Structure formats: C-alpha cells, structure tokens
C-alpha cells in the first residue's frame, strides 16, 4: 500500500484523506496537539507542524516519516494574498526544511484566486506558474511538483447559500471536494509530474442560479448574462481524460 503525506489536515486535507484512505496509508500534519491526538486515535499517523512566515533561528526539523512516503500533498496556503513575498519566501523555506529533498510525487494545492478579476475565460496559458510567486518558489525547489489551482471549495457542509454573497450575476468557479480527490487519484495512478491544472467544475452558472438551486427555488430569475471571470478546466479534462462526478455547481447539494 502506498503511503501519502498530507501537509495541512484542515477542511480540504481531511476530506482528501477520507476519500483515499481505503487505498493509501495516510500520514498528516496538523497545527494542534489535540487534533494530532484525535487523528492518531483514528489510525492516521499525525504530527504537529506549522510553517511561520518569519525566519527561524534554526532550520525546521525534517519530517521523520518522509523517507517512507510515496506521495506528498501540500494544502497549506502558499500565495501572496496570505502574506507578502518576503514572508511567503520564509514560509516556503520552513516548509522545504520540513520536507527536505523529497523526490516522490508532489502536489501543491494553489488557487484560482491567482487570476486577475477580469471578465474573460482563463486557461493555464494565460498565467504561467513563473508569474505566481508561491508556485514559482515551490517549483524551483521541487521541479516534479504538480500545481492544482483549485476553485472555491464546496460540498459536504459548504454551500453558497450559507454565505453573504455579493455580485449575484457573476459566475462561480467552484469545485466539489470529491472531484479534487478523484483528480488526485487519477494523477497518482498515472504517475503524473510537473503538470499545472485549473481545477473547477465544468459549468459556471451565476451565484444567483446556484443559490436558487440550493434553496430549491425552481422559478428563480434567469439572468440573461453571467458576468465575471471563468476559470476553465479544459486542459485537465483533455490530458487526464477525467470525467467529473460533479460538473454542475447547481447540483452539488443534491448528491
């Protein structure tokens, strides 16, 4: 059985782990000893680790289980929106001390938030990883890394109707967490490396259309034009031949 490490066992990390734990042995990091104890009690080998955005007096100690891992999935925030470039550099330095010179299959969970707020359709070619500081820093250290730019994380207890939402006529770029797990499984099975993919559901209805569907408003107002940016997953579908389990954000709540 392959061994997979998940750095950052939060909302997404936990759901990825639950989706693949029947096929892979899971190792994880979390930020509190209470959560680590809880995971260890469930059979998940967990340690406490956080990656501050300042320079440490001594290098971060390397993860002891690293040499036994086949795959590593990084879910902690690595973006300029979470901190400035210098702080981001420090965070990635601390992370790289923790994972050393890992040579196995590696995944970085990035975000579609890297794309500018312009009303157009975006593919990966519109913004190469070299122009995104966090992605570039990680790729420079780990050339094999796969970068997945995730849309808004949805499914389980996350639905748009539960949030205060503005710009209701703008398109959503959402992804169901089960499709993230499905894409990861496909890439692991294929041994994929060095890829950059947008990961959003195939359809991009407006926020109003999604909320109406989730509130079971059958005759909700249909907008003539859906505004805003749309992040396309065409490359992923073409190269991986992946079939989305949840292609329509209006139906995430039905399944």
| pLDDT value at residue 173 | 98
Q: Where are the domains of the chain?
A: 3-160+174-202+230-248
- What is the per-residue pLDDT for 237? 97
SS3 content of the chain, % helix, strand, coil (to 5): 35, 20, 45
* Residue ranges of the chain whose pLDDT lies below 50: none
Q: Is the pTM of this model over 0.75?
A: yes
Report pLDDT for 149.
98
For domain 3-160+174-202+230-248, give the CATH number: 3.40.50.720
Nearest partner of 188 among 148, 154, 149, judged by Cα: 148
pLDDT reported for residue 78: 83
pLDDT digits (tens, 9 = 90+) for 122-144: 999 999 999 999 999 999 999 99
pLDDT at 60: 84
pLDDT value of position 229:
97
Per-residue pLDDT, 80: 65
User: Which residue is it, tokens 């692991």?
Assistant: 188
- CA dist list (Å): 206 to 25, 174, 183, 225, 227: 39, 11, 25, 9, 8
């Amino acid at each position: 059985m392959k061994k997979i490490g998940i750095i950052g066992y939060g909302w997404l990390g936990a759901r990825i782990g639950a989706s693949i734990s029947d096929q892979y042995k899971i190792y994880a990091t979390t930020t509190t000893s209470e959560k680590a104890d809880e995971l260890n009690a469930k059979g998940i080998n967990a340690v406490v680790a956080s990656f501050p955005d300042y320079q440490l007096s001594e290098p971060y100690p390397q993860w002891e289980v690293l040499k036994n891992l086949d795959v590593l999935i990084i879910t902690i925030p690595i973006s300029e929106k979470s901190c400035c470039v210098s702080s981001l550099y420090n965070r990635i330095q601390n992370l790289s001390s923790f994972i050393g010179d890992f040579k196995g299959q590696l995944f970085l969970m990035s975000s579609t938030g890297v794309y500018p707020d312009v009303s157009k359709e975006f593919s990966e070619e519109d913004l190469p990883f070299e122009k995104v500081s966090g992605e570039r820093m990680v790729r420079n250290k780990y050339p094999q890394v796969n970068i997945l730019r995730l849309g808004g994380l949805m499914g389980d207890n996350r639905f748009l109707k539960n949030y205060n939402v503005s710009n209701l006529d703008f398109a959503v770029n959402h992804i169901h967490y089960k499709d993230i797990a499905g894409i990861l499984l496909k890439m692991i099975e294929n041994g994929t490396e060095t890829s950059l993919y947008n990961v959003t559901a195939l359809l991009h209805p407006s926020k109003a259309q999604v909320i109406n569907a989730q509130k079971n408003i059958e005759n909700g107002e249909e907008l003539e034009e859906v505004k805003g940016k749309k992040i396309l997953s065409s490359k992923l579908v073409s190269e991986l031949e992946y079939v989305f389990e949840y292609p329509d954000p209006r139906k995430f709540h039905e399944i």
